[in-house]
Amino acid sequence: MPPVSDIDQHLVGKLRERHLRVTPQRIVIHRALCAQSQHLTADQVLARVSETLPGTSLPTVYSTLELLEELGLVRRVGTGNSAVVFDSRVEPHAHTVCRRCGAMADLEGTAAPDDALARAGAAGFVADHAQLVVWGLCSACAA
Amino acid sequence: MPPVSDIDQHLVGKLRERHLRVTPQRIVIHRALCAQSQHLTADQVLARVSETLPGTSLPTVYSTLELLEELGLVRRVGTGNSAVVFDSRVEPHAHTVCRRCGAMADLEGTAAPDDALARAGAAGFVADHAQLVVWGLCSACAA
DNA sequence: ATGACTGCAAACTCTTTGCACAACA
DNA sequence: TGTTGTGCAAAGAGTTTGCAGTCAT
């Protein structure tokens, strides 16, 4: 994990590039996502952000997450279960999702997405990202 | 595509096995999903079903889709965009989703999910299904 | 100074729940 | 006949929109 100042600089650079404003909300929301290697829902982001920036609103969280996604700093991961989660690991990678407790975890070392991107391209589809979700029971729930 | 009578028998068998009732709604909803190789939202299922069985309600569609998923006859595919879609192709396979028009298509020939299932198992996760979603622009929207 | 961004409130969509009636076994 | 399943209405969760005021540039 890079230091906070580097994380901030990355965001500030991208914002300046596009002549967008650097606001405390954007800085803090971005930090919240990078700080934890967990996957957070919009509600969870708001909870973390509120600790350091009370009064922040959910609509701002949503609009900022959308912006961060456009800037390529965050990925939206849809499992089909309830809320969408946001992930600061932007390279294609796999997730496991537990059917019982809903826990989500990274799955390391799957070459799957690269293969899929190539095949999609061959089919005339201009692919920019692949997400792989594996359903089942986590080790805790399987017992 | 197997004939309708075979599709129905498959469902009826599974229902009888579990001492669940065979109702016209269940038959028609199942047919609607198998008939089109498309991916349908709950609303779209209701629209198709209403043609042959008017008066069918959305809550019934949802509860039946959930049942069909439990019976292993249908998969729920969550893209993270708006509504969840339901797919009668139950074997693990990949989908492409267009960021512009939202169109969803099957992506053939990706061996990817098998690899992921194996890796998840090695990590202590009891995997039962893998779904791969590739984001980008469909050939029509890319132009 | 000026225009982008935020917060508030309300609306909207998708999905689930509770209950009385209908219909499969 | 005894439940299971359905339809209706309403509630609930997650997300988006409109607008007035604030703040970064």
pLDDT at B111: 63
Pair of tokens at residue B123:
């990590």
> B69-85, pLDDT tens digit by residue?
999 999 999 888 878 99
CATH code 1.10.10.10 for B4-78: yes
Q: Given pLDDT bands bounded at 50, 70 and 90, which one contains residue A34? A: very high
Q: What is the CATH number of domain A91-142?
A: 3.30.1490.190
C-alpha–C-alpha distance, residues A104 and A81, integer Å: 11
Distances (CA, A) of B97 to A40, B26, B136: 23, 29, 7
C-alpha–C-alpha distance, residues B97 and B137, integer Å: 8
What is the number of other CB atoms lying within 10 angstroms of the CB of residue B18?
9
Those of residues 87-106 in A touching chain B at CB distance below 8 A are 94, 96, 98-99, 105
A90 vs chain B: nearest CA distance in angstroms?
13
Distance D6 C1' – B64 CA (angstroms): 11
At position B42, the amino acid (one-letter code) is A
Instruction: Tell me the pLDDT of chain B (143 aa) as tens digits.
Output: 677 778 999 999 999 999 999 999 999 999 999 997 779 999 999 999 999 999 999 999 999 999 999 999 999 998 888 789 999 999 888 999 999 888 899 998 776 667 888 889 998 999 999 999 999 999 988 88
Kindly list the domain boundaries of chain B, sorted by start residue: 4-78, 91-142
**Residue showing tokens 């991107």:** A117
Percentage, residues of chain B above pLDDT 70: 97
**If 0-12 CB within 10 Å is exposed, 13-18 middle and 19+ buried, where does residue B133 land?**
buried
For B76, the closest of A80, A98, A139 (CB atoms) is: A80
Q: Which of residues 113-132 of A touch strand D (CB under 7 A)?
A: none
Pair of tokens at residue A5:
């100042």
